[in-house]
Amino acid sequence: MTRLPLTPSQTVGPFFHDCLLRADSRFNSLASTSTEGVRIRVEGRVLDGDGAGVPDAVIETWQANHEGRYHHPADRRNPPSASSFHGFGRIGTDEAGRFAFLTIKPGAVPAPNGTSQAPHIVILVFARGLLNHLVTRMYFEGEASNVTDPVLMLVPEERRATLIARSSAGSPGGTESQTYTFDIILQGSEETVFFDLV
């Protein structure tokens, strides 16, 4: 069998931001009023190596529901009780590189070795100039299970803080009980840890 050569990767052009985002803001809120679980707000910035905001980045989020179950056929455990929660979102940054979305705090999910992973949100980053999207995780400050999470333990201790979202009070007048701040730094000494997935 003859194998065809792979098409080489190319940097993403300026068009992708508008093409990946929908005109409505539905993806900025992953949870509806009927979704079970603790509602949270996540806000942050996508920053380049000089600390400047990236104005046309897109982040995708993927997470389990409050019971630690994914809305996906590969999760063969009992069906999620909150069928209205799909766990997927897509958010664009503004002119200063800021983003924000509403969701619920995910539950712990099983790890391949039979233990549990700490609650986390998987984040993919698309930005102009990247050959391939970047993959990272956002963990939650103060979560006791962070110290035993098998993925987080693979990250050098001095770099783990780049994966931990900081907690603050809920937004004034909002329905979220907690706000988390998570900046994604693309380069430099404080670069967010990204995972090499093949």
Q: Give the CATH number for residue 168.
A: 2.60.130.10
Residue 178: DSSP 8-state: E
- Asked if the model's pLDDT at residue 13 lies above 60, the reply is no
Residue 3 lies in a domain: no
Q: Which domain holds residue 86?
A: 16-185
pLDDT band at residue 79 using 50, 70 and 90 as cut-offs:
low
Residue 194 lies in a domain: no
Q: What domain count does the chain have?
A: 1
Residue 80 lies in a domain: yes
**C-alpha to C-alpha distance for 161 and 102, rounded to whole angstroms:** 22
Per-residue pLDDT at 77 = 64
Average pLDDT, the chain: 82
Per-residue pLDDT at 29 = 84
Residue 9 lies in a domain: no
Tens of pLDDT, residues 133-179: 999 999 999 999 999 999 999 999 999 999 999 998 655 444 557 99
Residue 17: DSSP 8-state: H
Is residue 100 helix, strand or coil? strand
Q: Is the dihedral of CA 180, 84, 137, 139 positive or negative?
A: positive
Per-residue pLDDT at 34 = 81
Residue 6 lies in a domain: no
- Asked if the model's pLDDT at residue 9 lies above 60, the reply is no
61-67: average pLDDT: 91
Give the residue from 185, 130, 143 showing the smallest Cα distance to 162: 185
